[in-house]
Amino acid sequence: MSVLLVALGAAVGAPLRYLVDRAVQARHDSAFPWGTFVVNVAGCLLLGVLVGGATAGAVPGSLVTLLGTGLCGALTTYSTFGYETVRLFEQGFRLGALLNVAASVAAGLGAAFAGVMVAQAIWN
């Protein structure tokens, strides 16, 4: 059953990542990969809420499997983040590559922490 939940969540998360990435990137005329940044931070926030809710006993494990592993796993993308960072560096945007790494890690961790805090505020 868990495999089906992961597959179902991923079937929604992967196209959602593509659509959000394209929509965000189309609105920015810069080399910075804003689309990937947005989906990764949003995925971290959602995963933080889910894990915080599960820790409080309010979110069932099946929902964490569906949305956390499936949807967030397909929505977020470390490989694209890595590729886009290398691409920025190779194109001479070395500061942009460094900022992409620093901002992505800081914002992702901050979003996950904020998600857990939101969940604790709701369910504790």
Who contacts 41 (Cβ-Cβ below 8 Å, separation ≥6)?
A: 104, 107, 108, 111
Is 82 annotated to bind ligand? no
CB 104 within 8 A of CB 40: yes
Amino acid code (one letter) for 72: C
Is 76 annotated to bind ligand? yes
- Tokens 């929902």 label which residue? 63
> In terms of C-beta density within 10 A (0-12 exposed, 13-18 middle, 19 or more buried), how is residue 87 classed?
middle
- The C-alpha atoms of residue 84 and residue 13 are separated, in whole angstroms, by 20
22-27 — which CB contacts under 8 Å span 24+ positions?
Answer: none
Binding site membership for Na(+): which residues? 73, 76
